[in-house]
């Protein structure tokens, strides 16, 4: 792979995808063909390990799942397909954008940063302490072949000042603070969302295995994590447990199992009925949101009636998987044009 330098933002992002592909696919430095020198290759590998030390939820396996999805999205044809939906992107007046990142998933703030980079905006990034390793590591990679990134993107530690617009992601509680501190400037605030799955009687065992990835990848911490199942009346719950056994290694993750033990104890004390398999609790509950290690389920008899009910909850739902939604196994593999909360970030940035 030819090494490039001093290219434009779009070419740099596509080149980043090629570099990340080599990093994900190779344990050892494969040579200069990977696009970066050996020291930089090893440094990024070390950043993946440091990310897990900093935040035990960011296991190397989950970080690689995240990076693999970005490799697919930073493919040249995918990037072109995405950006071709917009007009006059090269005519945008540069502004300073403050991006406040969440830290629930690896690189969860990267998409916002990417959008701003491609449009030529200057960026102030306020990182979450839970994800303060990987984004700087990605930016450093880009700087190797696009040095201007160091001027365009600044990681800030102190109180942000001198910005024109704000993009902030957090919980519903965080959004109260966002509104209080940044409500006076044009802004894009994202709140709590979760994902659901609707099953019908035709669901196959293979689809249930894929559903398990939608539930367990990232330990259920993301807005695209399925936390609620809608099941046809009299659905055999043993089919779910058989499929979920694929993720039995969760019993070795201390933080996850601490959540499991805690929730199990609470339910027992409160005499709440639930089913379990040693690492997951299935609880019949109308609530869309469930705590880590718990998945809510609800039976339905009439799909049309269920669809009508779900229409009133669209602001809480990021993804619908299965019947009437995206395919099983794809919830945690968003395309680059699948915007959080359904708000088009590029469109927001082009109108400011």
Helix (H) or strand (E) holding 303: helix 303-311
Task: Indicate the burial class of 110 (C-beta count within 10 angstroms; 0-12, 13-18, 19 or more).
Answer: buried
Confidence (pTM): 0.94
Q: Is the pLDDT of residue 109 over 70?
A: yes
What are the pLDDT digits (tens) for 21-61? 999 999 999 999 999 999 999 999 999 999 999 999 999 99
Start-to-end CA span in the chain (Å)? 37
What are the pLDDT digits (tens) for 168-222? 998 888 888 999 889 899 999 998 999 999 999 999 999 999 999 999 999 999 9
DSSP-assigned states of every residue in 122-155: EEEEE--GGG-SHHHHHHHHHHHH-TTHHHHEEE
- What is the pLDDT averaged over residues 67-72? 98
Instruction: Give the separation between CA 286 and CA 89, rounded to whole angstroms.
Output: 44
Mean pLDDT of the chain: 95
Q: Is the pLDDT of residue 5 over 80?
A: no
What are the pLDDT digits (tens) for 290-337? 999 999 999 999 999 999 999 999 999 999 999 999 999 999 999 999
pLDDT for the residue numbered 7? 55
Could you tell me how many residues make up the chain?
A: 352
pLDDT for the residue numbered 1? 47
pLDDT for the residue numbered 172? 84
Which domains can be identified in the chain, with CATH numbers? 9-165 (no CATH), 194-322 (3.40.309.10)
- What is the pLDDT averaged over residues 68-90? 94
Which residue is listed with tokens 């229409």? Answer: 311
pLDDT for the residue numbered 43? 98
pLDDT for the residue numbered 351? 84
- What is the pLDDT averaged over residues 239-255? 98
- Name the packing angle between helices 134-145 and 9-25 (round to 10°): 120
pLDDT for the residue numbered 2? 45
- What is the pLDDT averaged over residues 137-146? 97
pLDDT for the residue numbered 335? 97
């Amino acid at each position: 792979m030819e090494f490039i330098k001093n290219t434009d933002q779009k070419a740099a992002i596509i080149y980043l995808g090629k570099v990340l592909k080599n990093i994900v696919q190779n344990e050892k430095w494969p040579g200069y063909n990977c696009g970066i020198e050996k020291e930089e290759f090893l440094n990024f590998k070390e950043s993946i390990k440091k990310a897990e030390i900093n935040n035990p939820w960011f296991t190397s396996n989950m970080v690689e799942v995240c990076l693999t999805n970005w490799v697919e999205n930073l493919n040249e044809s995918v990037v072109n397909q995405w950006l071709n939906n917009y007009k006059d992107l090269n005519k945008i007046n540069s502004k300073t954008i403050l991006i406040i990142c969440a830290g629930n998933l690896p690189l969860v703030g990267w998409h916002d940063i990417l959008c701003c980079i491609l449009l030529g905006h200057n960026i102030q990034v306020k990182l979450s302490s839970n994800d303060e390793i990987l984004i700087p590591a990605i930016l450093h990679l880009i700087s190797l072949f696009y040095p201007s990134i160091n001027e365009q993107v600044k990681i800030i530690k102190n109180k942000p000042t001198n910005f024109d617009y704000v993009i902030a992601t957090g919980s519903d509680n965080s959004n109260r603070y966002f509104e209080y501190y940044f409500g006076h400037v044009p802004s894009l605030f994202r709140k709590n969302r979760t994902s659901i799955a609707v099953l019908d009687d035709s669901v196959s065992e293979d689809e249930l295995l894929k559903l398990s990835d939608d539930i367990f990848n990232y330990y259920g911490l993301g807005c695209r994590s399925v936390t609620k199942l809608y099941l046809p009346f009299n659905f055999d719950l043993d089919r779910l447990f058989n499929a979920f056994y694929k993720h039995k290694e969760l019993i070795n993750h201390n933080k996850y199992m601490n959540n499991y033990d805690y929730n199990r104890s609470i339910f027992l004390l409160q005499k709440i009925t639930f089913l379990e398999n040693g690492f997951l609790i299935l609880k019949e509950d109308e609530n869309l949101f469930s705590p880590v290690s718990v998945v809510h389920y609800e039976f339905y008899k009439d799909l049309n009636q269920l669809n009508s009910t779900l229409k009133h909850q669209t602001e809480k739902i990021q993804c619908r998987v299965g019947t009437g939604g995206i395919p099983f196994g794809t919830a945690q593999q968003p395309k680059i044009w699948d915007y959080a909360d359904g708000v088009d970030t590029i469109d927001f940035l082009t109108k400011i």
